[in-house]
Amino acid sequence: MVLELFGMASFHWEKTVETCFCFDFTRRQEEGKCTKQKQETKINLFGRAQAVHTRRMDFTSSFQTIPIISSFVFFLLLFSTLLPSISASQFDDFRRLNQTFRPGEESKKMRLIKAHLMKINKPSVKTIQSPDGDIMDCIMVHQQPAFDHPTLKGTKPLDPPERPSGYHHMHSEHYQLWSLSGESCPEGTIPVRRTTEQDILRASNIKRFGRKIAKPVRRDSSNGGHEHAVGYVTGEQYYGAKASINVWDPKVTDRFEFSLSQMWVISGSFGDDLNTIEAGWQVSPELYGDNYPRFFTYWTTDAYQATGCYNLLCSGFVQTNNKIAIGAAISPTSSYNGGQFDISLLIWKDPKHGNWWLEFGSGVLVGYWPASLFTHLRDHASMVQFGGEVVNSQSSGSHTSTEMGSGHFSGEGFGKASYFRNMQVVDWDNSLIPLSNLKVLADNPNCYDIRGGINNVWGNYIYYGGPGKNPKCP
């Protein structure tokens, strides 16, 4: 959905100062001949002084005219004292959020933010400082946000289920920047990326912090400012999916845009009752405040309207692992015409309890989405998608230059383009099987494209991605 252009903000304040207008400072100070000035300053939306009005009120018995030069010098000194330091980024925030500075409203907003932070930042037994600036809180498993959900209160994390048959454990290291500190969370706890006041203030809509923008959804892909290049299967009953994805650090050119690569497990009518489970990696300056690719999860049961969220930013997903932090930066990343680094993801439905489990990397179970969260996904999925998604806000009046995947088109192939390999689905018998009738679709192939294939080493695979704006994508 194309992001709405919000109104611009300006600020106005008054301050009364008392000073002496002096030619001979000692003499005038002794005579006590000073002038009180009330200065009004208005800052325009570009951060410049738009107008300055001064009302002079004599409170001495006599007042002498000030020479123009002395008055001008004094005015500059006085103005520099009164004008606070306001950064360009702060003005950008206020323009985008359509907010006018009102102390009462600001105070109310900060109270709401603090209350929300207390809700999602649970008490920790240990804190770990990540090299990238993140703070990881080790919280008790039973105190995580999931158990604030009405259907989960009073319950405990379930034991791991049996993996799908046909699953072959291939040892592959997984790295997250926070774990490079050498610290880890104790058994019985989980690492949770601490949410800060700045994280919430960056959001384009504070009430929807941690959620995707609600958008129209089509059966084959989606639109409304979100562009996709995906491979998908449909027409059967699906109970999970598995793939390996190479990780990149695509350029995101607007702070309210993102670039991600993920798997979607989908069910519903593609209206307001759409159910999805999603996992992969993403670059989102708005959500995380930087440009690192991060491991993420998402879910919704009503087409992104009121349910679900990223990671652990609301109640829902139950994490069971103390070594993986959802929302943490991934390292290393792939390099163009160089080494390729990928992560493996497996999502599948536990036949016994019906919950949807998530595995990340080298056979590490992260946790599960309880079946009680969903409507259609309580049974099975009707579609599985693999691929990339970007937000095209057209903030500069043309197509965004935000990259998908590696930022290169699919035709460049291995070492240059992004890929999904060893793509499989889970059938009714809890077995991993190859894809049948894989289709590919790019919303705007001149900007981001996709192509699929199959071979004996990678099984089903896709290459996808692109640079966004280019001569064919104006």
Catalytic residues: 278, 389
All residues at 6 or more sequence positions from 419 whose CB lies less than 8 Å from its CB, including other chains: 245, 246, 342, 461, 462, 463, 464
Q: Which residues pair with 449 in a beta bridge?
A: 465
Neighbours of 265 (CB within 10 A): 28
Residue type, 9: A
All residues at 6 or more sequence positions from 276 whose CB lies less than 8 Å from its CB, including other chains: 264, 265, 266, 267, 298, 299, 300, 308
C-alpha neighbours within 13 Å on the C-beta side of residue 396? 11
Angle among Cα 365, 371, 375 to the nearest 5 degrees reads: 140
Q: Which residue has the tokens 């959500």?
A: 287
Q: Which two tokens stand for residue 429?
A: 């018998």
